[in-house]
C-alpha cells in the first residue's frame, strides 16, 4: 500500500509494559499480534501495521508533565519496569489517504507523522590547504587531523592518568549499525535468527564512525548497537529509544545515548503542527524526555544546516540561525553538540541557534574532521577522507561524557550537561553562550579537574556546591 507513514497513539493502561515491548522486539510474530490487538476496531482496510514493530509504551501524556516523568523514572534502574503504568501506546502504521481524514477526526486516537531522518555527516567532503576566513571553515575544508591531536585538544590525558577511560560505562548508539569486529559492541537490539544483529554493519557505516569517535575520549567504554530496525524514521528511532529504556530498567545501562541524526525541516514540517520538528508532544520527543528522566544522558547532533555552507540535505526553510536546530535535537534536556575543527573554527555547516524548542542551543561544540573511523590507515579506509559532520562531533562529546561518568558515576544527565557547559572553553570572540558555539568548546580536562575539586571540598565539609556533590 502506497500510503502515509504515521504513528497512531491510543490511550491504554498497562503495568508490565517493558517486558511486553521487549517480547515484541524479540519476535516479529509477537510484535504483529500486539499491534493488531492494540488497533482493535480502528484497523481494517486502509491501515497496514508496520512489520516487526510492537506497540511502544508511553508514560506521560504530554512532554511538559514533569510530575508524570518523575514518577515514571523513580526507581526504574534495575526494576525491570514493573509497576510503571502507561498512559498510551503508539503503533507504527501505513495509512491510505482515504482513511487519514477519518483517523484525524477519531476521538480516541491521535495521529502523528513518522518522518524521515537524515544521518548528520557531510558525505564525501573535499578539502585543500586554503585558509578559512572569519573563523569559519567552509568548502574546501581544511585537511583532517589525527586522533592524537583531538585527544590533546580535549585534555583526556588528565582523566586517563587517574584511570577514567570510560570503564563500566555503556554508550547506546542509535544509528544504522556498527561493525562489532572492529568496535566493542556488547549488546543492543537483535531478533533471534535475524541477519541484522548488533555489530553486524560494515565498518564503512555511519554508526561505525560514531563508534570510533566515542572511543577517542573513552577507549574503555562499551557500546550497544540500536540500528533503527533498518529504517531511518522517527517510528523506528522511537522503538530503539524504548529498547534502551528496556535495557536500562534491567541493569542501569546504557548510561548515555549518541544520536547523530535529525529531521530536515522542509515545507511539510513547517506547515504540519503535528510534525516532530514543531510539536513538543510528538511521541518521539516525549520518549526522549522519558529516557533522560530515567537517568540516561542523551547527546544529539545540532545538525548540518548552518548558514555558511549547509549540507545538500537542507531545505532553505531550515537553514541558518533560528531554523537549523529543531525536534528533539533542540530540547533543553539533551546535550546538543555543534562542530569546530582542530583550529577552533566553526565548521560552516554546523547548525546555529536559537533552537526551536529551547532557545539556548547548541549547548557546546566538539571536534570534527579528524581521522577516526575514516582516513589514511583507519578501519573505514578512505571511503570518506575523514570523520565529519556534527555526526562526528557528537560522539566525541559523548565519549567525554562516558569518561567523566567512569570517574564520577553519580552524575545525573542534568549535572553532566551543566558540568560540560560550565567548563567549556569560550571561542568566537564572545563570553558565555552564543548561537554558533553554545557555551564553548568541550574541555575534558577542565571538567574533570573542576568536578574532582568540588568533590574533595565537599568531602571535607566545605559546603561547596557542584554537580554531583549533593
Q: How many CA atoms lie within 13 A of 347 on its CB side?
A: 39
Per the annotation, the verdict on 21 as an active-site residue is: no
Helix (H, G, I), strand (E, B) or coil at 89: strand
Per the annotation, the verdict on 459 as an active-site residue is: no
The set of residues, in sequence order, having a beta carbon less than 8 Å from that of 457 and lying 6+ positions away, is 463, 464, 466
Q: Which entry of 200, 311, 391, 406 is annotated as an active-site residue?
A: 391
SS3 content of the chain, % helix, strand, coil (to 5): 35, 20, 50
The C-alpha cell 504513528 sits at 7
Residue 297: CB atoms within 10 Å: 28
DSSP string, 216-254: HH-TT-EEEEE-GGG--BHHHHHHHHHHHHHHHHHHS--
Q: Which entry of 21, 206, 282, 369 is annotated as an active-site residue?
A: 206
Per the annotation, the verdict on 391 as an active-site residue is: yes
Cα 262 to chain center, whole Å?
9
Output the nine-digit C-alpha cell for 414.
Answer: 542534568
Q: Are 256 and 143 in contact (CB under 8 A)?
A: no
Q: Which entry of 175, 213, 308, 436 is annotated as an active-site residue?
A: 175
Output the nine-digit C-alpha cell for 133.
Answer: 576566513
Output the nine-digit C-alpha cell for 420.
Answer: 560540560
The C-alpha cell 530515567 sits at 294
Helix (H, G, I), strand (E, B) or coil at 180: coil
| Active site positions, annotated | 175, 206, 391
Amino acid at each position: 500500500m502506497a500510503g502515509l507513514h504515521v504513528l497512531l497513539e491510543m490511550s491504554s493502561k498497562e503495568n508490565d509494559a517493558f517486558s511486553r515491548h521487549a517480547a515484541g522486539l524479540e519476535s516479529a510474530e509477537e510484535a504483529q499480534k500486539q499491534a493488531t490487538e492494540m488497533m482493535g476496531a480502528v484497523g481494517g482496510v486502509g491501515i497496514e501495521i508496520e512489520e516487526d514493530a510492537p506497540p511502544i509504551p508511553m508514560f506521560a501524556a504530554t512532554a511538559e508533565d514533569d510530575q508524570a516523568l518523575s514518577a515514571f523514572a523513580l526507581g526504574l534502574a534495575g526494576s525491570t519496569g514493573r509497576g510503571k503504568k502507561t498512559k498510551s501506546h503508539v503503533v507504527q502504521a501505513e495509512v491510505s489517504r482515504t482513511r487519514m481524514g477519518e483517523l484525524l477526526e477519531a476521538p480516541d486516537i491521535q495521529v502523528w507523522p513518522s518522518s524521515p531522518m537524515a544521518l548528520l555527516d557531510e558525505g564525501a567532503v573535499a578539502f585543500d590547504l586554503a585558509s578559512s576566513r572569519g573563523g569559519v571553515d567552509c568548502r574546501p575544508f581544511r585537511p583532517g587531523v589525527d586522533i592524537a591531536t583531538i585527544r590533546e585538544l580535549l585534555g583526556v590525558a588528565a582523566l586517563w592518568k587517574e584511570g577514567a577511560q570510560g570503564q563500566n560505562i555503556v554508550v547506546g548508539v542509535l544509528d544504522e549499525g556498527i561493525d562489532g569486529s572492529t568496535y566493542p559492541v556488547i549488546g543492543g537490539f537483535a531478533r533471534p535468527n535475524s541477519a541484522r544483529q548488533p555489530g553486524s554493519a560494515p565498518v564503512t557505516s555511519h554508526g561505525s564512525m560514531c563508534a570510533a569517535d566515542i572511543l577517542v575520549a573513552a577507549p574503555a567504554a562499551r557500546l550497544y548497537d540500536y540500528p533503527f530496525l533498518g529504517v531511518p524514521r522517527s517510528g523506528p528511532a522511537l522503538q530503539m529509544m524504548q529498547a534502551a529504556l528496556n535495557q536500562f530498567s534491567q541493569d542501569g545501562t546504557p548510561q548515555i545515548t549518541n544520536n547523530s541524526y535529525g529531521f530536515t525541516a522542509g515545507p511539510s514540517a513547517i506547515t504540519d503542527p503535528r510534525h516532530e520538528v514543531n510539536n513538543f508532544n510528538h511521541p518521539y520527543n516525549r520518549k526522549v524526555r522519558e529516557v533522560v528522566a530515567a537517568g540516561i544522558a542523551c547527546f544529539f547532533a545540532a545538525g548540518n544546516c548552518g548558514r555558511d555552507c549547509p549540507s545538500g540535505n537542507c531545505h532553505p526553510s531550515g537553514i541558518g540561525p533560528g531554523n537549523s536546530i529543531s525536534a528533539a535535537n533542540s530540547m533543553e534536556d539533551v546535550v546538543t553538540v555543534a562542530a569546530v575543527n582542530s583550529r577552533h573554527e566553526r565548521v560552516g555547516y554546523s547548525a546555529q541557534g536559537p533552537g526551536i524548542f529551547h532557545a539556548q542551543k547548541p549547548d557546546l561544540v566538539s571536534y570534527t574532521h579528524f581521522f577516526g573511523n575514516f582516513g589514511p590507515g583507519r578501519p573505514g579506509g578512505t571511503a570518506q577522507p575523514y570523520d565529519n559532520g556534527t555526526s562526528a562531533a557528537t560522539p566525541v562529546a559523548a565519549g567525554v561524557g562516558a569518561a567523566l561518568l567512569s570517574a564520577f558515576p553519580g552524575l545525573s544527565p542534568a549535572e553532566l550537561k551543566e558540568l560540560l557547559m560550565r567548563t567549556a572553553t569560550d571561542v568566537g570572540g564572545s563570553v558565555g553562550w552564543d548561537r554558533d558555539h553554545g557555551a564553548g568548546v568541550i574541555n575534558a580536562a577542565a571538567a574533570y579537574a573542576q568536578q574532582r575539586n568540588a568533590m574533595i571540598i565537599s568531602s571535607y565539609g566545605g559546603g561547596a556546591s557542584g554537580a554531583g556533590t549533593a
